[in-house]
Amino acid sequence: MQKIINFLKELIAAMRAAGQPRPVLSVVPKPPGPEKVFGPTWYVKAYREIGVKEYEIGDNGRIIEYHSATRLAAKDQKTPWCASFVCWCLEKSGYVSTNSAWAKDYLRWGVKLDEPRFGCVVILTRGAVSGHVGFFVGETDEKIVLLSGNTANSVCISSFPKSRVLGYRWPNGSR
């Protein structure tokens, strides 16, 4: 995992060197490296989904499958699916999720953490009412790096301003 964090730090440094005032990693492709991924089982499940994206025409069946892990069970990819992705990863790994397609429902789920922990669920603000949710990968001074679904219409690793963080959570019954 340190390779991923180093990769992201190098990318941010290159962006700053290129004169970009606010480096933002909107979409980072799956980093090169070994096929073996280590971390919590739900994170490994999520990592293996990197690259799944919305289709320009029609609906991606994998995204519909993510939705099936929620009570909403949406039948299209246009319905926001970040929380569905987190639910699917947790459920497929044997953990209870919120079963909700609403990202902010994760603020009342699991165990509250005061500080982020690799693989923990991170809940962010998005606009005045909505939210976004994903798994913690790393951080810089100003950014938090998440592996999440429905970021740029795909599963990817992206960074977000730390000012958007609402909370960090960990599944009940996991160390």
pLDDT confidence of residue 152: 93
Q: For residue 9, what pLDDT band results from cuts at 50, 70 and 90?
A: low
Alpha-carbon distances of 172 from 64, 96, 101, 137, 157, rounded to whole Å:
26, 8, 19, 20, 25
Residue 151 is classified by DSSP as E
Number of independent structural domains in the chain: 1
As a whole number, the mean pLDDT across the chain is 86
CATH number of the domain bearing residue 138: 3.90.1720
Q: For residue 26, what pLDDT band results from cuts at 50, 70 and 90?
A: very low
pLDDT confidence of residue 21: 44
Two tokens at 161?
């301003």
- The boundaries of the domain holding residue 85 are 2-170
pLDDT confidence of residue 7: 67
Assigned domain for 28 exists: yes
